[in-house]
Chain A
Amino acid sequence: MPRPPTQLPQFSSVSDVAKRLSAAGYLTDKQIATTVFLADRLGKPLLVEGPAGTGKTELAKALAAATDSELIRLQCYEGLDEARALYEWNYKKQLLRIQASQAEGGADWDTVHDDIFGEEFLLSRPLLTAIRRTEPTVLLIDETDKADVEVEGLLLEVLSDFQVTIPELGTVVATRRPTVVLTSNATRELSEALKRRCLYLALDYPSAEREREIVLSRVPDLAPGLAEQLVRTIRALRALELKKSPSISETLDWAQTLLELGLDTLDEAAIGDTLGVVLKHASDQERAAAELRLN
């Protein structure tokens, strides 16, 4: 198996990962730091799976910031195809080029052919862009589970060899392997083959302690006591069986809201007024109000 182009490891140890990511504004725990370190060391793509709003995309962004790389993002959706993910010929421009050459009195076919399948007419999409870059790059393939199964095949090919063959141009090989982060909300099972090639990181809701730190680092003006109260309440909400459990981003929104409203304690009245920030289904709100005895 030919090893893809290598890249020097960017982190020296697990604690180095934790330090640099937290400098980039992302607080890790041992699991995240270890997995990111291994992904960097072994040169494997990192597959991050977990519920929405647990900081998957954020991790990729922080990783880019911590390693001084540029972030290239491929957002997946149903119907994403090769033309949107890899490359596409700019056929409009090609047509115009042919038109123009006819108007000029007609260059011979070979020239036109060589001409319209050149660099100028190639629309580079995220995957190809990431492979061709010579500077450090973090390639974020977001919400992989939303894409169709065929796209996984394409990803497999690109992620194992880091090369792309364009029939008219030849094979493009990465000179510098990008750091790849795939995220998934686990709405569907990704293929075994893809998972096998990746390091797997299951991101769940953080521990109370880490969540409190995250709140305090992101909303520094919040009183520590209130942050503590907030996190405890959020955890109580998560323990309920809700349609959509509040995520970290919602905790942060809530913290921000409390701060804006100038509330200094999280009592029944305050929660009742601001519950809409964390729970976004009417049925969830009713349930929480009943279970937590809000009224």
Chain B
Amino acid sequence: MGGPVAPPPPGGLAGHLDGFVRAIRETGIPVGISQAVDAAEILTVVDLLDREQLRHGLAAVLLQRGNQRQIYDTLFDLWWPLGDRPVAVPEDGEGEGEAVTLDAPDSAGGEIDPSARLREELARLLAEGDEAELARFARRAVAMLGQTTPSPSGQSWFSYRVMRALSPDSLVSSLLEGLLAGGERGGMAEQVARGEVRERLRSFKDAVDTEVRRRQADERGRDRIAKSAVRPLADQIDFLRAQQGDLAELRRMVAPLARRLAVRLSARRRHGREGRLDFRKTVRASLATGGVPVVTHHRPRKIHKPELVVLCDISGSVAGFSHFTLMLTQALREHFSGVRAFAFVDSTDEVTRFFTPGADVADAIRRIGREADVVAFEGHSDYGNALEVFADRWPTVVGPKTSLIVLGDGRTNYRPPGLPVLADLVQRSRSAHWLNPEPRRLWGSGDSAALRYAEAIDMVECRNAAQLADFVTTL
């Protein structure tokens, strides 16, 4: 996205805002010019001394989705940092005497062993659970413990130093003790308390990270820190590279998409809301209004019962993707009774039975690996054989009412791709789509038969949840 034409003034609030907007844009959040203008207008309306007002105010015009908020907050803390001058702490609002004295620069030298005392205080604050207080403490802890001799890259502030000195994780058991207040262990109360402790520790860690980033930014320039601090948006995470931690997020995103997809497939052609005119009924009804057909009557529409067949590659090369595709299948099963799922590596087996509504996806995937008959020979994908087995053993599954979705990377290990079988399946189905987790530029490279498949079937690049959403909306 090109920047606005106006050259940013060297300094001043407007220039600063411009830099902030550019930084947000760089993370991939689209911010239009009109939004940038609105942001400037926000500055004239909010109380600039109230940092939180500014934060939420700018967020209201610059963001358009809930999941952008985390990135935004990270950048906001870099661009509009809390000042660390000992005297001026008005941004914080409510009075805080202690921060003024303790936040003094290079205070680490003054004390003999600050970490033991800080640890005690941390334990107390975590037990109380006051977020604002905890954040203030994090700033102080970083000031006292976070600095070391600069590394070769010129970086001298590190959050691991703070975490090591305070080792908050070792406080968990005493915190639990406190939260349970003598109650018995092992039951629900402990689980609830554990969750709470975990949440507080996370918020403390976030506060430390934020403060360290601010210090680093002072040292090495905001832009460099901004680049490294920002994680990609969840819907931009590549399926093939998704990590364990991302999967939960992906699962949350897939469910609504599957619902949408189910609706789309079942109602692809909508000819108005009602069926054909019921002539007889209309004329009968018109007698009441002197022969004028004031109200028209229609025959009810035939209910279209769609069938969806999902055929997915679950071989090792697409492990991350197949995890996701099975998630999608499971979600579809929940909205759509006519779903049949088939999985293949070098042979095909029906896996519908593993996806009873309400079943756990991770569990289903484990069972498929164990129980389903998807490997005939040695466990490398063989599309040709898999397609043949599918067409052979389940010849009636794909029919004129069926929507077929194939999920896979189309890498055949240089074996016959089975194009005629696929073409035949496509021909027989009502609609057919192939979602490919590989970037389009890699299609057809090496052993990928994607381009050849693409001639027979509508193939769509589907590397992340955003692209899946696009596919669902254009369907």
Q: Hey, which bits of chain A sit against chain B, CB under 8 A? A: 13-14, 30-31, 34-35, 38-39, 41-42, 49-50, 78-79, 92, 95-96, 99, 186-189, 192, 195-196, 199-202, 204, 207-208, 232-233, 235-236, 239, 241, 243, 267-268, 271, 281-283, 287, 291-294
Contact = CB atoms under 8 A, between A and B. Distances in A.
Contacts of B295: 92
B61 A199 contact: yes
B64 A200 contact: yes
Given A14-B53, A232-B192, A293-B191, A96 B260 contact: no
B195 A196 contact: no
Contact of B191 (A189, A204, A292): A292
A281 B255 CA distance: 15
Contact of A99 (B41, B270, B290): B290
A49 B56 CA distance: 15
B440 interface: no
A179 B447 CA distance: 59
Interface in B22-46: 30, 32, 34-35, 38, 41-42, 45-46
Contacts of A187: 256, 259-260
Nearest to A209: B131
A241 to B, nearest CB: 6
Contacts of B273: 79
Contacts of A79: 270, 273
Interface of B: 30, 32, 34-35, 38, 41-42, 45-47, 50, 52-53, 56-57, 59-61, 63-66, 69, 129, 131, 186-193, 195-196, 198-199, 248, 251-252, 255-256, 259-260, 263, 270, 273, 289-290, 292, 294-295, 357-360, 469, 473
A30 B52 contact: yes
A293 B188 contact: yes
Contacts of B56: 30-31, 34-35
B32 A196 contact: yes
A195 B190 CA distance: 43
Contacts of A201: 60
Contacts of B129: 208
24 contacts: A14-B46, A14-B53, A30-B52, A34-B60, A35-B57, A35-B60, A49-B65, A49-B66, A78-B263, A96-B294, A189-B65, A196-B34, A202-B65, A233-B188, A233-B192, A239-B195, A239-B198, A268-B187, A268-B188, A271-B188, A281-B358, A291-B191, A293-B188, A293-B191
Nearest to A232: B192
A34 B52 CA distance: 9
A268 B187 CA distance: 8
Contacts of A292: 188, 191-192
Contact of A34 (B46, B188, B289, B290): B46
A235 B196 contact: yes
B53 A34 contact: yes
A17 to B, nearest CB: 11
B282 to A, nearest CB: 13
Contacts of A239: 195, 198-199
Nearest to A49: B66
Contacts of A189: 65, 469, 473
B30 A192 contact: yes
Nearest to A233: B192
A233 B188 CA distance: 9
Given A188-B473, A189-B469, A42 B38 contact: yes
Nearest to B183: A267
Contacts of A202: 63, 65-66, 69
Contacts of A50: 66
Contacts of B186: 293
Contact of B53 (A30, A78, A195, A243): A30
A232 B473 contact: no
Contacts of A14: 46-47, 50, 53
